[in-house]
Structure 1
Amino acid sequence: GTVDKHSVEVTNCFSVPHNESEDEVAVDMEFAKNMYELHKKVSPNELILGWYATGHDITEHSVLIHEYYSREAPNPIPLTVDTSLQNGRMSIKAYVSTLMGVPGRTMGVMFTPLTVKYAYYDTERIGVDLIMKTCFSPNRVIGLSSDLQQVGGASARIQDALSTVLQYAEDVLSGKVSADNTV
């Protein structure tokens, strides 16, 4: 990804094989190095900004993985991607780490949550929406929509949005709610 003043943009990622046991994590560092070298050939301006793991929170193993990436990037940003789709969403959380402890003694790491904003191209959104539909399909399979079905769906969403705007305007005119320019 890239860093610009006070924001970080994550644009790509690749998975790195690892094995976890109860008290240790083995990351395939050679694989990670090779993948990054290949990635730099395609996107030479992008840097390693951090790492990601599936799950809804930072774990004890996160500290060990973070230690490795601290050698690869200054102040790496860990992301957690909750693939369980709780509440019908794939939650992504980002953190910044801070060393803590008594000087000269064993140090610990504290992870503080960051604000995450999603940005995507329309074509990416279409793909994600299609994948999300499979979550609610009984057999986890869903077909692609025809052009006519897509136009019909878009028309229905526009009609719903217009109905919401019309209802708001009627509520303002009748005095049920006060006008709000931010709406």
Structure 2
Amino acid sequence: MALDLIVKVHPVVLFQIVDAYERRNSDSHRVIGTLLGSTERGVVEVTNCFCVPHKEYDDQVEAELGYAGDLYEINSKVNPQENIVVIHEYYARECNNPVHLTVDTTLINTTRMAIKAYVCVQLGVPNGKQGSMFTPIKVQIISYEPEITGLQVCSKTQSAIGGVVKSAGIVEPQMDLAQIAGASTKLASMLDQVLAYVDDVIAGKQQPDNQVGRALLDMVNSVPKMTSEQFDDMFNSNVKDLLMVVALSQLIKTQLQLNEKLTLLTTL
């Protein structure tokens, strides 16, 4: 049953792991920690994590489990829906169907971060020697909508030049209307690619893919049926609401700035 598990990891978990690795002690070669998330119908969704201090010896690793328990208790008060899903002798007593996630943050001889997940499978014969083995399972990266927005902003701070990624400076989050314009441009480009693919399939220039066809059918069926006039009315109404929210937010921002300056003058 454990081999049928699928691990879905959110980007914030990877960022936290990389951050912990960059902040590690100079004599540490790796970091370990606790994965938090939920398990449902064979899918383990990892939404959070925290680092656990540890010491490494030649034949064993000693983690500060008291610290791990205290931090998990604190996190439970903020996010009670997040449970421990990581595998370890200590953690195995705390949850069912635990997993072990490894992240290669060194990027040695590769441009992609290696992410792997394992489950512990018991081996042995009845009344004989018992053992265990870590068996790999599938890993997927998934994102909530706010995470996608954050990743898009992060991607704009990097530029690939000659195969080497260099910093492109600080990028401020875009206003809502600018995000809508960018998303519309990207959507138009994707629609052009889909139409070109469909035209090539109809003309016999490309072999059809049944999975792509089913995805396109689901997409078309999910679009509500309306006339162009109805769509224009709906779009204009939403844009007006958005403009009102933007105007109110700017007024609130200006009011806060004035209040801050008046408070500073009063204290002087």
State the TM-score, normalizing by the size of structure 2. Answer: 0.53
Between the aligned partners of 2:55 and 2:169, the Cα distance in structure 1 is: 31
Aligned counterpart in structure 2 of residue 26 of structure 1, from 47, 62, 73: 62
1:133 deviation in Å? 4.3
Matching residue of 1:41: 77
Structure 1: 5+ residue runs without aligned partners? Answer: 52-65
1:37 deviation in Å? 0.9
1:29 deviation in Å? 0.9
Aligned length: 168
Whether 1:162 aligns to 2:162 is: no
Whether 1:50 aligns to 2:86 is: yes
Whether 1:113 aligns to 2:149 is: no
Whether 1:16 aligns to 2:40 is: no
State the TM-score, normalizing by the size of structure 1. Answer: 0.73
Q: Structure 1 runs of 4+ off > 6 angstroms?
A: none
Between the aligned partners of 1:126 and 1:90, the Cα distance in structure 2 is: 21
Matching residue of 1:139: 167
Structure with greater helix percent? 2
Map 1:77-88 onto structure 2 (within 5 A): 77-84=99-106
Give the SS at the match of 2:50.
coil
1:34 deviation in Å? 0.4
Matching residue of 1:69: 91
Q: Which has the higher contact order (CA 8 A, sep 6+)?
A: 2
Q: Which has the larger radius of gyration?
A: 2
Between the aligned partners of 2:81 and 2:128, the Cα distance in structure 1 is: 38
Calculate percent identity across the aligned residue pairs.
Answer: 42
Encode CA deviations 1:75-127: one digit per residue, 9 max, x unaligned. Answer: 4211112334686544432211112246544x443111222233321111121
RMSD across aligned positions (CA): 2.9
Between the aligned partners of 1:67 and 1:91, the Cα distance in structure 2 is: 24
1:50 deviation in Å? 1.0
Matching residue of 2:40: 4
Which amino acid is 2:139 matched to? V
1:2 deviation in Å? 2.1
Between the aligned partners of 1:113 and 1:97, the Cα distance in structure 2 is: 9
Structure 2: 5+ residue runs without aligned partners? Answer: 1-36, 160-164, 217-268
